[in-house]
Amino acid sequence: MKYLISVLIALFVLGSASAFAQTTPSGTMTETERAQLDSLRRSGIEALYNLDYDKAQKDFKEIVRLYPNHPAGPQLLAARVWIKTLYESRRLQSSLYSSESFYSSGDDKVDPKVVEEFRNLTRDAQRRCESRLKENPKDVEALDWLAAIEGLKASFEEAVERRHLAALRDGDDSVDHHREVLKLDPAFVDAGLTVGLYEYVVGSLPLPIKVIAGITGFRGSRKRGLQMLERVAKEGNWSRDDARTLLIVLYTREKRYVDALAHARELSAKYPRNYLFRLEAADALVSQAELERKNKNVEAAVRAEREAFATFDDLLLD
């Protein structure tokens, strides 16, 4: 159970997971309106990745003002609340979630006003999705946003409130709705982020647990999960960087440190104000150096260590 939670949460603490749904045509929006919404959303997401919460809030509030019936505004504002809360409580670091101490009760309670704000925003966004789905149960965009909301709720419940069972329930709902999205539109690449993560997690379970999970209907493939995530990283729309962020974590687990380093470098260059990607790059270099030393490749190990230490020094100077 803790392994499942730690892998799921790794997706959300570094990136924004499925908080940003893929764009699909909407019959109630003109091309100009769609372009304006996408521009504001892209600007706000970039601000979030760069840890600029004021800019993100400004952009997302403008979406609420211009598109009062669309779920994007409250959904993205809720994502901002969640990421800002993690940052202020020093929980924006994937290694934290591998620690047993994280799953103990703990005394670091979140401000009830923050929880209330988050719940109000996600409730509003979910209401807007459900209203559209009542009119058209096969509305792919609404289904995608609903899955995104459920995934975001799961991440908040796990990383902030530590409500593990509630997080698993919402996470399961998110996967189910994204599977439905893919059935309706197999070309909807971004939906593969959630489903691919699910496939990887279930496929990575120890054999005895995997057998029990299979009996109860939970099946997955680690290989297929990685392939889905790699496709999102290459071909995705809004979730491309989310997939790259997740792959850093999973490649590290697979001891594919060179691949993890490549994604960390790319994201660090794209989002220079987000120090987390530089930390991930340095961690990958340290792990690669250890691997090189085990293989008696001393020169390669020294090079990796020097680059890692230089990265740590740069972070201290920032």
Q: Which range in 5-9, 96-100, 207-211, 264-268 is most confidently predicted, on average pLDDT?
A: 264-268
Whether the pLDDT of residue 95 is over 60: the answer is no
**Three-state DSSP class for 229?**
helix
Q: What is the pTM of this model?
A: 0.83
pLDDT of residue 201: 81
Whether the pLDDT of residue 9 is over 90: the answer is no
Mind listing the pLDDT tens digit for each residue in 34-91?
999 999 999 999 999 999 999 999 999 999 999 999 999 999 999 999 988 888 876 5
Counting Cβ atoms within 10 Å, is residue 245 exposed (0-12), middle (13-18) or buried (19+)?
A: buried
Which of the four pLDDT bands, split at 50, 70 and 90, describes residue 99? very low
Angle between helices 140-159 and 112-135 (to 10 degrees): 160
On whether the CB atoms of residues 159 and 13 are closer than 8 A, the answer is yes
Mind listing the pLDDT tens digit for each residue in 103-141?
444 556 788 999 999 999 999 999 999 999 999 999 999
> Which sequence spans correspond to the domains of the chain?
2-254, 259-318
Whether the pLDDT of residue 21 is over 90: the answer is no
Which of the four pLDDT bands, split at 50, 70 and 90, describes residue 12? very low
Distance CA 71, CA 125 (A): 5
Which of the four pLDDT bands, split at 50, 70 and 90, describes residue 98? very low
Whether the pLDDT of residue 144 is over 60: the answer is yes
pLDDT of residue 109: 75
Whether the pLDDT of residue 10 is over 80: the answer is no
Helix, strand, coil shares, percent, the chain, to 5: 75, 0, 25
DSSP-derived secondary structure for 59-125: HHHHHHHH-TT-THHHHHHHHHHHHHHHHHTT---GGGGGSGGGGS--S-PPPHHHHHHHHHHHHHH
Contact partners, residue 248, CB within 8 Å, separation at least 6: 14, 260, 263, 264, 267, 280, 284
Residues 277-301 have a mean pLDDT of 94
Whether the pLDDT of residue 1 is over 60: the answer is no
Residues 292-304 have a mean pLDDT of 95
CB count in 10 Å sphere of residue 9: 24
Mind listing the pLDDT tens digit for each residue in 145-190?
999 999 899 888 888 887 877 887 888 899 999 999 999 999 999 9
Mind listing the pLDDT tens digit for each residue in 255-273?
999 999 999 999 999 999 9
Task: Name which residue leads in pLDDT, 90 or 308.
Answer: 308
Distance CA 297, CA 75 (A): 49
pLDDT of residue 89: 74
